[in-house]
């Protein structure tokens, strides 16, 4: 498994990644100068995707700057990102992928990210780590509750030192099936969950959130674009959004529906907007604050997106639209501990009209969760509080250097 993963990572190294080897070399050459600047400080580097500060990396960085300024932390981000200014106001930033970022990555006590690829160059760093060519200590905050068993998270193909979990069954499943020593799995809760207790719901706002499919590929060519827009995946979502049933629900209950696309769909936002009936909001990436939208919404319709657990954490109802369930669990991710078709948090349907019928039932219940839902919530989230970031800080700080 490790050899196969390693060979795939070599194939993923592209021409532009070769520039990273030059930046890596420059970081090594300039190391004495950088070391004078940091004067032996033990610092942490925090990040997400290079262009974002919206997930657990951002929330953890914000917490550290506001509550533990004694610990030196840096946030790595593209300085052209629309999120750069809000992070810069919190504390020191480094340009994502720069020589300075490479030095910090190589020298940090911990590299902390909500993305497994949250490094100066994901492919190059994976190559170096898997060959034990560098000794970077990695803390993976995750970007959602892990409900499946993705191969890229298994211990035999990654060099993660610590992995953060939020739900008890998630923690237990990773301990049993992912190959990590138990003391490497931290049950702390995700940093962004700290902000999910101050909820200001907008009446009758419903969030529709599809996730991606491993078998869908995107290229710049027009033929590829048309292939994607005519795929079953896209056609099923358009069918739901353009149905007479959803039109009736919107008018009857004065619904505000937001179709929140997966990031891979953003290049086609204008084409998708043209295909969807007026009245349904389709925000672009610049307008998209998933965290706030989930806090404001009363319920969610999704297929398999792990962000539904943010809604569950807030004790909000969820409906699953799973028109390709069998293919998803066979071709995308190996099924894990969560059973979409038999759980107390939301029902699964293959037909859009059944999804909308269930949505109406939830509306008529005034979006109130069942007693079974609340009992399962208590079992799932033993740490239901606003101390997730603090627990992560305490656990990382308490780890003895080996």
Per-residue pLDDT tens digits for 302-337: 999 989 999 999 999 999 999 998 888 777 677 789
pLDDT of residue 373: 97
Contact criterion met (CB below 8 Å) for 51 and 97: no
Rounded-to-integer distance, Cα 38 and Cα 23, Å = 19
Pick among 3.40.50.12580, 3.40.720.10, 3.40.50.1100, 3.30.565.10: CATH of 205-380: 3.40.50.12580
Cα angle for residues 59, 62, 66 (degrees, 5° grid): 140
CATH 3.40.50.11820 corresponds to the domain 2-194+386-397: yes
pLDDT of residue 402: 46
Instruction: List 256's β-bridge partners, or say none.
Output: 205
Residue in this structure with the two tokens 């959803």, named with its chain if needed? 246
Q: Nearest to residue 383, comparing CAs of 164, 192, 165, 188? A: 188
Q: Nearest to residue 387, comparing CAs of 170, 142, 189, 198? A: 189
Rounded-to-integer distance, Cα 358 and Cα 367, Å = 11
CA atoms in the 13 A half-sphere facing the CB of 58: 20
Asked if pLDDT for residue 140 goes beyond 80, the answer is: yes
Q: What is the DSSP string of 162-196?
A: EEEE-SHHHHHHHHHHS---GGGEEE---GGGGGS
Rounded-to-integer distance, Cα 26 and Cα 30, Å = 6
Instruction: List 258's β-bridge partners, or say none.
Output: 207, 281
- pTM score of the predicted model: 0.89
Average pLDDT, integer, range 154-173 = 92
Sheet-wide strand order for 185-187: 93-95, 73-77, 44-47, 110-113, 138-140, 162-165, 185-187
DSSP 8-state assignment for residue 137: -
Average pLDDT, integer, range 155-183 = 94
Per-residue pLDDT tens digits for 198-241: 888 999 999 999 998 878 865 545 556 778 888 899 999 999 99
Q: Where in the chain is the domain with CATH 3.40.50.12580?
A: 205-380
Rounded-to-integer distance, Cα 205 and Cα 217, Å = 31
Average pLDDT, integer, range 391-401 = 83
């Amino acid at each position: 498994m490790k050899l196969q993963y390693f060979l795939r990572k070599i194939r993923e190294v592209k021409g532009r990644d070769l520039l990273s080897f030059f930046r890596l070399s420059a970081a090594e050459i300039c190391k004495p100068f950088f070391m004078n600047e940091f004067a032996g400080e033990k610092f942490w580097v925090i990040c997400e995707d290079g262009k974002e500060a919206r997930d657990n990396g951002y929330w953890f960085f914000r917490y550290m700057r506001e509550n533990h300024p004694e610990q030196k932390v840096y946030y790595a981000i593209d300085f052209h990102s629309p999120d750069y200014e809000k992070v810069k106001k919190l504390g020191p930033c480094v340009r994502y992928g720069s020589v300075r970022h490479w030095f910090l990555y190589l020298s940090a006590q911990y590299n902390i990210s909500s993305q497994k690829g949250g490094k100066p160059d994901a492919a190059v760093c994976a190559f170096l780590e898997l060959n034990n060519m560098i000794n970077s200590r990695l803390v993976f905050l995750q970007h959602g509750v892990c409900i499946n068993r993705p191969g890229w998270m298994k211990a035999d193909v990654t060099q993660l030192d610590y992995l953060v979990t939020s739900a008890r069954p998630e923690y237990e499943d990773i301990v049993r099936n992912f190959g990590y020593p138990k003391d490497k799995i931290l049950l702390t809760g995700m940093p962004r969950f700290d902000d999910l207790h101050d909820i200001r719901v907008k009446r009758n706002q419903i969030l529709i959130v599809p996730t991606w499919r491993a078998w869908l590929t995107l290229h710049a060519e027009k033929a590829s674009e048309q292939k994607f827009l005519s795929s079953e995946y896209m056609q099923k979502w358009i069918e739901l959004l353009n149905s007479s049933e959803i039109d009736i629900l919107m008018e009857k209950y004065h619904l505000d529906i937001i179709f929140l696309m997966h990031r891979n769909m953003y290049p086609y936002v204008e084409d998708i907007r043209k295909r969807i009936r007026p009245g349904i909001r389709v925000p672009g990436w610049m307008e998209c604050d998933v965290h706030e939208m989930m806090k404001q919404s009363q319920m969610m319709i999704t297929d398999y997106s792990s962000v539904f657990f943010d809604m569950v954490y807030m004790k909000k109802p969820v409906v699953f639209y799973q028109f390709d369930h069998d293919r998803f669990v066979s071709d995308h991710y190996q099924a894990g501990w969560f059973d979409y078709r038999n759980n107390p948090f939301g029902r699964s349907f293959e037909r859009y009209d059944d999804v909308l019928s269930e949505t109406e039932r939830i509306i008529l219940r005034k979006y109130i969760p069942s007693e079974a839902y609340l009992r399962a919530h208590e079992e799932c989230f033993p740490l239901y509080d606003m101390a997730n970031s603090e627990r992560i800080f305490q656990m990382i700080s308490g780890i003895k250097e080996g």
